[in-house]
Amino acid sequence: QFEQILTLGFHLIEEFLTELAAAYPNLMTHSVVGQSYEGNNMNFVKISTGGTGKKAIFVDGGIHAREWISPAYVTWLIRELVENYAAHPQYVDNIDWYIMPVINPDGYRHTFAVNGKFKRFFTCQDRLWRKTRAPNAGSQCIGTDMNRNFGFHWDEGGSSDLPCGETYNGGAPFSAIESQIVRDAVLSVANQSVVYLTVHSYGQYWLTPWGYTPEYPADYPQLYDLAVRAVDKLTAVYGTQYTIGTSTNVLYIASGGSDDWAKGGAGIPYSYTVELRDTGKFGFELPATKC
């Protein structure tokens, strides 16, 4: 019971997925595609009205533990597509969705704990934890930054080779079990997928590859055009402004990102990192209410 309280955030999401899939079996399937280092489930959702030959969108969230709005948003997206299917059936009739709302579950759970006790919102001991929670051989420091651990131009800049670094690249591409599981999940649907979206916070950026080099991908005009269309739709809702550009040029060089690998390694043409709200007032500790 103690353990259940501690893991409320993660397990609430998992429970929600199970219940939603049971309620909408014709639209949604929920499966577990592996276990994290600490044995948490890697949850995988498919949303589809069936049939073959459809294009697909792959979405993941929660690669960075402290970015709580990411699993929250991606779980919301699942609910919106399924429960509100009738409001916009074209989103599901024409596209298959593959969604993993919490791809770093150990890290996410860790941000909720205080000396083994669950604390609600903003008072947690390690609220700003970023990495996974697997130990590193020969070091006292824990965890790998999964967004430096993907195997496309891995370790070519903007990542740390030191286990104590916040952006530790893991020592080898796909060394983290969670990165391997995401890699295999993406590859299993890559031939069908045209969009890869990985959801982070914060800063309000809609980022394209590349993150490992300041050079632009050959198809940057197409990547940019679709990003503009997405951001225009997004801004129309609450007026929220997003900055569009390549990760390197808008932010900084950071190699080993899942977005670069999804495009360069898995061959998914439209690969984006979305940095959700805000622009720094609350940062990772975004409150639930609108401010």
Residues 7-46 that bind ligand 0X9 (CB under 6 A): none
Does the active-site annotation cover 275? yes
| Contact pick of 110, 127, 148, 200 for Zn ion (by CB under 5 A) | 200
By C-alpha distance, which of 217, 204, 212 is closest to 268?
217
Count of residues engaged in binding ligand 0X9, rule: CB under 6 A? 14
> Is there binding between residue 61 and ligand 0X9 (CB under 6 A)?
no
Residue 207 touches which of Zn ion, ligand 0X9, none (Cβ within 5-8 Å per kind): ligand 0X9
Residue closer to Zn ion, measured from CB, 67 or 178: 67
| Minimal distance, residue 206 CB to ligand 0X9, in Å | 11
What number of helices (H) and strands (E) belong to the chain? 9, 10
| Minimal distance, residue 110 CB to ligand 0X9, in Å | 16
Residues 245-284 that bind ligand 0X9 (CB under 6 A): 247, 251, 254, 257, 259-260, 273, 275
Catalytic residue among 3, 38, 275, 285: 275
> Is there binding between residue 71 and ligand 0X9 (CB under 6 A)?
no
Residue 254 touches which of ligand 0X9, Zn ion, none (Cβ within 5-8 Å per kind): ligand 0X9
- Token readout for 265 is 């390694």
- Give the other-Cβ count within 10 Å of 87's Cβ: 8
Within the chain, what is the greatest distance between any pair of CA atoms?
54
Residues 59-78 that bind Zn ion (CB under 5 A): 64, 67
Strand pairing partners for 82?
none
Residue closer to ligand 0X9, measured from CB, 7 or 149: 149
Helix (H) or strand (E) holding 135: none
By C-alpha distance, which of 4, 45, 51, 56 is closest to 22?
45
Decide: 47 and 27 in contact? Cβ < 8 Å.
yes
The torsion angles phi and psi of 277, rounded to 5 degrees, stand at -60, 160
By C-alpha distance, which of 59, 42, 46, 36 is closest to 259?
59
Distance between CA atoms of residues 43 and 22, nearest Å = 15
Residue closer to Zn ion, measured from CB, 30 or 66: 66
Report the first-to-last Cα separation within the chain, whole angstroms: 35
Catalytically active residues, by annotation: 275
Which residue ranges make up the site for ligand 0X9 (CB under 6 A)?
64, 67, 147, 200, 207, 211, 247, 251, 254, 257, 259-260, 273, 275
